[in-house]
């Protein structure tokens, strides 16, 4: 199997290189797509990154690239390629050689990761929003908890929350470096001093979930 073809657009790609004085430089980019057997296309995370990093990624520079393929399990990919330079179309894009040799390492067979992420939990039908701590993340759902709001006269009960549609909105932080939201359904809820939820993701957000899970795995393995 050609693992490069399994890469999904939007996947985070870690790039490293050595400058003229042998300092190691690291960059984070986003995978866009490929022209088979010719080159891979990567984009910068934002305009600032494009302005600051373009010079270091000029054509001919040797790059070490690490990323993750999310299938029924997750596989870390490592390969060495040369930069083909920056192509400026609607936005600056980095072109790199199509890799001839790709090393793959299965990262995980267990489906869940223990995390500490903050996110906004919104119940659209109840018109309620809470700041929650995500403690567990998987390809199918998450676990979180939040404090009851003192500003609301009546917080929803556990029975009312179970089965509710919910939106989980992440804001860019040191762990994910991206803004995104995932929709789901509350499968179970417990309420004491805090509210603890088990949320199952909807199938429509599969691509977003895979990207987020891959980023968290890369953090866990120091990639």
pLDDT per position as a tens digit, 145-194: 999 877 656 778 889 999 999 999 987 655 556 677 899 999 999 988 89
d(CA 223, CA 219): 6
| Cβ count near 37 (within 10 Å) | 7
Is pTM, for the whole model, over 0.85? no
Confidence at residue 38, expressed as pLDDT on a 0 to 100 scale:
94
- Domain 3-108: top CATH class: mainly beta
* CATH fold for the domain made of 112-220: Thrombin, subunit H (2.40.10)
Query: Consecutive sets of 10 residues in the chain, 223 residues long: mean pLDDT of each?
Result: 82 89 89 92 84 86 88 80 88 92 74 82 92 89 87 77 92 63 92 90 76 71 56
φ, ψ dihedrals at 31, nearest 5°? -75, 130
Ordered by start, the domain boundaries in the chain are 3-108, 112-220
Confidence at residue 104, expressed as pLDDT on a 0 to 100 scale:
87
Fold equal for 3-108 and 112-220 = no
Confidence at residue 211, expressed as pLDDT on a 0 to 100 scale:
73
């Amino acid at each position: 199997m050609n693992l490069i073809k399994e890469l999904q657009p939007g996947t985070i790609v870690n790039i490293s290189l050595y400058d003229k004085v042998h300092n190691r430089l690291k960059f984070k980019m986003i995978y866009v797509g490929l022209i088979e057997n010719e080159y891979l296309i990567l984009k910068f995370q934002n305009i600032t990154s494009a302005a600051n990093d373009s010079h270091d990624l000029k054509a001919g520079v040797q790059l070490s690239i690490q990323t993750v393929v999310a299938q029924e399990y997750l596989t870390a990919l490592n390969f060495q390629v040369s930069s083909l330079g920056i192509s400026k179309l609607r936005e600056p894009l980095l072109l790199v050689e199509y890799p001839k040799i790709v090393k793959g390492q299965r990262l995980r067979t267990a489906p869940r990761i223990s995390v500490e992420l903050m996110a906004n939990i919104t119940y659209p039908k109840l018109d309620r929003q809470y700041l929650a701590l995500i403690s567990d993340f998987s390809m199918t759902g998450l676990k979180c908890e939040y404090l009851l709001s003192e500003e609301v006269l009546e917080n929803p009960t556990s029975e009312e929350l179970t089965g509710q549609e919910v939106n989980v909105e992440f804001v860019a932080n040191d762990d994910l470096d991206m803004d995104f939201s995932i929709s789901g359904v509350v499968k179970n809820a417990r309420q004491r001093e805090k509210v603890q939820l088990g949320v199952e993701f909807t199938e429509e957000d599969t691509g977003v979930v895979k990207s987020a899970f891959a980023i968290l795995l890369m953090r866990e393995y120091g990639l």
